[in-house]
Structure 1
């Protein structure tokens, strides 16, 4: 954490910092944001120059983090395929703010527990007299 607080960070760094996403995940997200239409996994894989299975894993992480949405497109003759598109940025920002607030509250609680635990221990320690 100290490392992250001291380094310069761009807004995309929040994807890694708050959600633990990797560089490929950020690349896939950027490709979807820059696209004017929803993309298939094959299209994302081609645009980030990775194998389909690698792009699929990245897309799954983005879905689980709430950064993208999935839609099923049905063929008229039967069958279907999925396309992916970015979640509304306001929704993503609100989610990150909520996670940050939850983290901040938890850290405050842990700091208070630390103080309570060691404040009482300090009273029990005898400090030798200096000569």
Structure 2
């Protein structure tokens, strides 16, 4: 990152979750809507967010992959089934965020501490060469 920290985007929960979990802003909106409304069907979330059902379905898959949502099959008495989606509690999300930030910090610290003057010169030369 070549920008000073003071010019970095404002930190928001949405920005942090997108970065940490590799999800999109809509995915965060879906997660927060599930958190507020409790376990729900895709169609209910689609209606609340005024989005197409298929769009919300893709978002749910992203959230499941990120470990932020659980899917449960509900069987109907007359046959058939549907899926109900549930957001994991925010306390768990907060812990995942804090753990990831701590891991990144430790990794960056080790990397910076390992740089010696020779490696830095090589890095600078390679960086300048690739920028031309």
Normalised TM-score (structure 1): 0.77
- Name 1:46's counterpart in structure 2: 47
Q: Distance in 1 between matches of 2:25 and 2:52?
A: 15
Structure 2 residue runs without a partner (length 5+):
123-132
Indicate yes or no: 2:111 matched with 1:110: yes
On the 8 A contact 2:69/2:85 being kept in 1, the answer is yes
Task: Give, in angstroms, the shift of residue 77 of structure 1.
Answer: 2.4
User: Where in structure 2 are the equivalents of 1:52-91 lying within 5 Å?
Assistant: 52-91=53-92
Q: Distance in 1 between matches of 2:50 and 2:69?
A: 20
- Name 1:125's counterpart in structure 2: none
Match of 1:32 among 34, 38, 49: 34
**In angstroms, what is the RMSD of aligned CA positions?**
2.4
Structure 1 residue runs without a partner (length 5+):
122-131
**Cα 1:76/1:94, change in 2 over 3 Å:** same
- State the secondary structure of the residue aligned to 1:12: helix
- Between structure 1 and structure 2, the one with the greater Rg is 1
**Cα 1:54/1:119, change in 2 over 3 Å:** closer
- State the secondary structure of the residue aligned to 1:82: strand
Task: Give, in angstroms, the shift of residue 79 of structure 1.
Answer: 2.1
On the 8 A contact 2:71/2:83 being kept in 1, the answer is yes
Task: Give, in angstroms, the shift of residue 73 of structure 1.
Answer: 0.8
Q: Distance in 2 between matches of 1:48 and 1:73?
A: 23
- State the secondary structure of the residue aligned to 1:39: coil
Moved over 6 A (4+): none
